[in-house]
Structure 1
């Protein structure tokens, strides 16, 4: 089996374009590592950019995009299960899997072999937390994480009250069942590539992309989801674009406040992504950082050279 390639980086760093071009040259297939691109009809807000998966007129096979309906609560346990199925399918066909995305929790979970179990709802706990603010919930989560010695959550995926409560619920469950948190699945061997984009350029691209998404129908996309009967609370749960655009559509925010708040939230999100990736390095993952300023061709050649060298060392070169 060939080693997997993982391409990670903050939002707007060009991960998908690089992964698709690399996959075209290697005959590889892409597995998405994005916590929101799993949802159907949530295209613009999640930045699926499906046109990027067409290289030279050929569609690059991709997995774990458009697999569940909006309104459902897809989670890490389900992602790990779906990832393993996709990974094994690609491996059986002797293809190279390329894991690509910016959800650090999902990436680290599958690379590190977390063996998760489904965590049931705790209604009593949820009720006791329902009156707390997002900052209070984050403090509780941090305290639980410290008690558990857990890397399973950071603030990247707890930007709403409902997400924070669910994260606390999961950490509390593992605290009460320590025998489960110690279980491990098999680690996935992977060459990890990080796209390094400087702060100013990252901020510029985020703002530019947000404007493009709004011009290209992001508000209509969210309105269509609401019109088909999806509860606004469920869309707000997904955070970022879906949170702020929904709040605009239901009259909680003006357009100007929505844009300004969303822009700030995405900048903060990208910063937290980088914090997670740097944390992965401290936790023992080797990430090969390449500059976002390189041409696409040079990036592909650089990744291929790094991958070849690591495969030679591990004895897994094709």
Structure 2
């Protein structure tokens, strides 16, 4: 990955699931002459459209297509991580700025965005298979309690928004405890990109209502058929369960582990919890010095777009650092 400082700043729009990021980001990109770079850990997979909320129809604004990157770049069943994201992001960024367009980053995977701006330790700490086997036997709540009881320099940086990331965080914490003198780089790519960050944070009751409504819409749109088609192509249930949320619970329904009502109820609950964890990580980003300009939820899209563009242009002209 190229580690030289990048000249063109990033415009980043983040927020929890169902906050309206894609709709807003595509409108901003359309007016700025920009291109979207997705910062979503699951939208990279082909044929996983409904469950990941790609909303590709949103990429047409005023009859014009808004270019996008890091969507539909991997086959389902493969595993994509933050190292892959940093590499692919760098390629997409260079492609966009070469055309003198604006890179507009849109997504809810806070750890990916954090890694771009602050760096991470994932590419330094080796995998510990015996430890992973032990951790896999524990419940997610037990894993979370175990992590919260740790004291480590990595504690404030870790993304524990999903079970797999929680296990990786425990793996990193364990490595640091066993190797206190080892130099760990938390700054891979740090300071390469300058960015202004905007955030969407609907009121909790609004967010919950949107999540529940969207879940019902996705079920009507064919979410179950999407997962069944993936199973029919030979993907084993464990591979889909690995992706979590929609793919986990619909797979458990299709394999007879859950009834339809159990699946819908558990899935709705877990999406609400996921959105809460996303917000927790965004607040952690702020504590680590990344300023997020939260947009009032009572503004309409036009007001939000106008404000974002004005602030971005001021930031681009002044470039005092990370705003």
TM-score (normalizing by structure 2): 0.90
| Corresponding residue number in structure 2 for 1:205 | 210
Which residues in structure 2 correspond to 1:283-302 (within 5 Å)? 283-302=288-307
* CA distances 1:56-101 after superposition (whole Å, capped 9, x unpaired): 2211111111111111111111111111221122222221101100
**Equivalent position of 1:9 in the other structure:** 15
State the SS of the aligned residue for 1:181: coil
Match of 1:31 in 2: 37
Deviation, 1:183, is 4.7
**Equivalent residue of 1:180, what SS?**
coil
Q: Given that residues 245 and 271 in structure 2 are in contact (C-alpha distance below 8 angstroms), is that contact kept between their aligned partners in structure 1?
A: yes
- The CA distance in 2 between the partners of 1:67 and 1:172, in whole Å, is 33
**Which secondary structure state, in structure 1, belongs to the residue aligned with residue 196 of structure 2?**
strand
Counterpart of 2:96 in structure 1 is 90
- The alignment covers a number of residue pairs equal to 312
* Root-mean-square deviation over aligned CA pairs: 2.0
Deviations 1:172-207 (Å, cap 9, x if unpaired)? 345556313345424211110011211111111110
Helix, strand or coil: the match of 2:197? strand
CA distance in 1, matches of 2:274, 2:240: 18
Pairwise CA distance, 1:55: 1.1
> What does residue range 266-285 of structure 1 map to in structure 2 within 5 Å?
266-285=271-290
- Counterpart of 2:249 in structure 1 is 244
Task: State how 1:146-225 maps to structure 2 within 5 Å.
Answer: 146-158=151-163, 162-173=164-175, 178-187=182-191, 188-225=193-230
Distance across 2 between alignment mates of 1:197 and 1:106: 22
The C-alpha deviation readout for 1:258-289, integer Å capped at 9, x for no partner, is: 11111111111111111111111111111111
List gaps (5 residues or longer) in structure 2. 1-6
Partner secondary structure for residue 262 of structure 2 = helix
Q: State whether residues 143 and 167 of structure 2, in contact with CA within 8 Å, keep that contact through their aligned partners in structure 1.
A: yes
CA separation in 2, counterparts of 1:139 and 1:258?
Answer: 25
**Aligned partners of 1:216 and 1:182: how far apart in 2?**
42
How many Å apart are 1:143 and its aligned residue?
Answer: 4.3
**Alignment partner of 1:113 is 2:119:** yes
Which of 199-208 and 287-296 deviates more? 287-296
Please list every run of 5 or more consecutive structure 1 residues that lacks an aligned counterpart in the other structure: none
Between 1:74-83 and 1:175-184, the stretch displaced more is 175-184
Range with bigger deviation, 67-76 or 214-223: 67-76
**Greater helix fraction, Structure 1 or Structure 2:** 1
SS at match of 2:161: helix
Is contact 1:248-1:258 (8 Å) kept?
Answer: yes
Q: Contact between 2:119 and 2:186, CA under 8 Å: does it hold in 1?
A: no
